[in-house]
Structure 1
């Protein structure tokens, strides 16, 4: 679980660097990261491997991911 979404996290950094740190130009990359994190946490929860304090090197905690996914109009 620790590095599952690392590629998506790196894509955000790359996008920000290429776009002079204009966050609005990297919205798709941010959504991709949160979608990856939501899927990763869902798999971990289904396997009984997750708690609210779960940590990932590339993802925020599960409650933050769930809140962002709701903002994007998708259930986590």
Structure 2
């Protein structure tokens, strides 16, 4: 059940907060950098894979590690709902 979303500039800014150099530092970092790389910057469209749709709510709600949750919620609550698709 992949999904295409169109993000607002402020939602993209939340994703872009992740330093691309941290892509191999862990699951959250890898997810964020992967999302950055797949945003169509001309249209603000992002194709979310089935794996993305599983990982986004997991990182947003299951680990309780500081700002990760907020960044994902700010980026995806409008398009996926307040529970980010759960």
Q: Assess same fold via TM > 0.5.
A: no
| Structure of greater Rg | 1
Question: Which structure has more helix as a fraction of its residues?
Answer: 1
Please state which band the TM-score falls in when normalised by the shorter chain: 0.3 to 0.5
TM-score between both structures, scaled by the size of structure 1: 0.41
Question: Which structure has more strand as a fraction of its residues?
Answer: 2
TM-score between both structures, scaled by the size of structure 2: 0.38
